[in-house]
Structure 1
Amino acid sequence: MADMSERATRFDRLYTGDIDPWGFRSSAYEKEKYQATMLALPRARYALAIEAGCSIGELTRLLSFRCDRIIGIDISSVALDEATRRNADRPNIVFRRGELPGAWPGENAADLLVLSEVLYFLSPQEIEDLADRIVANWCPGGHCVLVNYLGPTAEALQGSEAANLFISCMKARTGIRHDAVATAEHYRLDVLERCAVTGAEQGINP
């Protein structure tokens, strides 16, 4: 991004003060959540994953062992510098800086999408716009994993509100199967699977 948004400035400042502000590397909560996320993946292997809000790349690293390629996106250049350093030995990972929804990569069809602890940082309109972008390059039969904190977020949206809005937006745009895989004490984990693309979605009259 040529110009830093207020949100980008906020997160760069946060990571400059503490490169691991949520304890991704040390917190028992984060370790258990990552384990649950990996166990929730319906397939053993994916061709291309997109992880939104990848932060310093801890979950990205775990996902990289299950994916041929993975694109991690984050708004903070400070976090991405650390993610790149941490994952220098994982050539199948590419990190990109950008702000959602506009930064969502649309050049390749992805069969795994991971949105962990990111949706509630977006506005309702941004979530709708993100759903539009995701539908454009999400493979039929592909999976989308959502993880959302259930405690107070200090954002306009709470975790369940953001998850429910995103799921509703996706249902309005394409056929999906939704499985609420786990509701832990402090987070919920949802898995969506995209159904076969219909003729209407392809712009074909039946």
Structure 2
Amino acid sequence: HPDHALAGDVAAAGAAWSGARLLEYPIWAWHWSTPDGEWPLGLIRRFDLSPEDHARKLQALALHRSQVLPLSDEPGDEAVVPPAMAAHFARGFEIFVDGTAAEAPSPDASGTASLARSFFDEFYREARDPWGFETRWYERRKRALTLAALPRERFGAALELGCSIGVLTADLAARCDTVMAVDIAEQPLSIARERLAGRPGVRFARMTLPGEWPSGVFDLIVVSEVGYYLATADLERFFQRCRGSLAPGGVLLACHWRHPVPEYPLSGDRVHDMLATVPGLVRTVEHRESDFLLEVWQPEPARSVAQHEGLVP
């Protein structure tokens, strides 16, 4: 039903922007689904209605005559919602699916899904630093460019999405009052925690993005080499949640590898193309190389570094 689909899309977008909990309401699934089929049993939530609310609901259902009563006595004009179907909604409780709690990778229209946690668990099982953050000149140079692209010398609260073993986290901690660093896998997080042990203001959390999301508002959000792990639908929600977590006047920095990787759902260029569609953001920095793309986005109206310094109006 396109009206149901549109209502669901609007609710999902609103929940993503605001960080609210998303509860999905099954309607025709009661008719065609089976308990061992499409129902995600671990995400089912029951809410009991008060006697007053139950009575109001029964009254409202009875008034929905075009659905619960026959349109006429002619064959084919039977009630759209027959009594056996209506019984599911006449009970004294509601059943919802907790969409916010879902951690399973969701496929996009092409059938491509975000990379699962098991992919990263296996990747880090082979090596402590599989990408060479600690050893490669390429990574050291890219970090230096990343830090140089930040339009302010210091930030209050920062959020790093996809912190891995915490090498960039340490650099961010030197320029931010607090850093919330998130990763999908526990193994790199244990290394990151050890690296920054005792560093005040730095916290780590294991989360599967975008279904799980840290609370709070941040002056700086860093999305470095993580966006292409997500399928299109998940990345759209990911950037919506980034926008919703960005403080007024905040900074969103994104940096991604541009060469194709067969295992990744998206390319780095595609990630940045999608970032450019997020409403209300203005790109203030663009650094493009054959290997990676680095951009800074700020809520409009964004001011340049020279404007902040009073060098230009």
User: What does residue 295 of structure 2 align with?
Assistant: 190
Determine if the alignment matches structure 1 residue 27 to structure 2 residue 132: no
Aligned partners of 2:243, 2:223: CA distance in 1, in Å? 14
Matching of residue 113 in structure 1 with residue 221 in structure 2: yes
Query: Residues 103 and 186 (structure 1 numbering): CA distance in 2 closer, same or farther, change over 3 Å?
Result: same
Match of residue 104 from structure 1: 213
Alpha-carbon distance in 2 for matches of 1:167, 1:100: 20
* Structure 2: distance between partners of 1:136 and 1:37: 23
Note closer, same or farther for the CA distance 1:84–1:192 as it changes in structure 2 (3 Å cut).
Answer: same
Question: Matched residues in 2 for 1:28 and 1:86: separation?
Answer: 20
1:177 CA drift (Å): 1.3
Deviation per CA, 1:35-58, whole angstroms, max 9, x where unpaired? 000000000111111111100000
Q: Which residue of 1 aligns with 2:109?
A: none
Q: 1:132 to 1:57 in 2, by over 3 A?
A: same
Larger Rg: 2
Q: Choose the corresponding residue for 1:139, options 247, 258, 263.
A: 247
| TM-score, structure 2 as length reference | 0.58
Alignment match, 2:165: 56
Q: Is the 8 A contact 1:141 1:193 kept in 2?
A: yes
Name the residue aligned to 1:86. Answer: 195
**C-alpha distance in 2 between matches for 1:53 and 1:97:** 10
Q: Which amino acid aligns with 1:185?
A: S
- Is the 1:52–1:74 contact (alpha carbons within 8 Å) kept by the matching residues of 2? yes
Cα distance in 1, alignment partners of residues 187 and 202 from structure 2: 17
Q: Which runs of 5+ in 1 are unaligned?
A: 197-206
In 2, Cα distance between the equivalents of 1:178 and 1:3? 31
Q: Which amino acid aligns with 2:276?
A: I
- The structure-2 alpha-carbon separation of the partners of 1:3 and 1:194, relative to structure 1 and needing over 3 Å to count, comes to closer
Q: Taking structure 1 as the reference length, what is the TM-score of the superposition?
A: 0.87
What is the Cα deviation at residue 4 of structure 1?
8.4
Deviates more, 1:91-100 or 1:129-138: 129-138
Aligned residue identity for 1:177: V
| Letter matched to residue 23 of structure 1 | G
Q: Deviations over 1:59-109 (max 9, x none)?
A: 01100000000111100000100110111131211010011112221x321
Partner residue in 1 for 2:268? 159
Partner Cα separation in structure 2 for residue 115 and residue 2 of structure 1: 22
Number of the residue aligned with 1:14: 123
CA 1:16–1:44: 2 relative to 1, 3 Å: same
Partner of 2:231: 123
Deviations 1:137-172 (A, max 9, x none): 21111000000101112212110011111221x12x
Cα deviation, residue 14, structure 1: 1.0
Aligned length: 191
Question: In 2, are the aligned partners of 1:12 and 1:76 still within 8 Å (CA)?
Answer: yes
Q: Provide runs of 4+ in structure 1 moved above 3 Å.
A: 1-6
SS in 2 for 1:22: coil
Partner deviation per Cα, 1:92-132 (whole Å, 9 max, x = no partner): 11010011112221x32101000000000011101111122
3-state SS in 1 of match to 2:212: coil
Residues 4 and 101 (structure 1 numbering): CA distance in 2 closer, same or farther, change over 3 Å? closer
Does structure 1 retain, via aligned residues, the 8 Å contact 2:163–2:182?
A: yes
User: Secondary structure at 1:68's aligned position in 2?
Assistant: strand
Identify, as 1 or 2, the structure richer in strand: 1
Counterpart residue type for residue 153 of structure 1? V
Asked whether the equivalents of residues 140 and 194 of structure 1 are also in contact (C-alpha less than 8 Å), the reply is yes
Q: Residue 114 of structure 1 contacts residue 145 of structure 1 at CA under 8 Å; is this kept in 2?
A: yes
1: CA distance, partners of 2:296 / 2:248: 14
Q: Percent identity?
A: 34
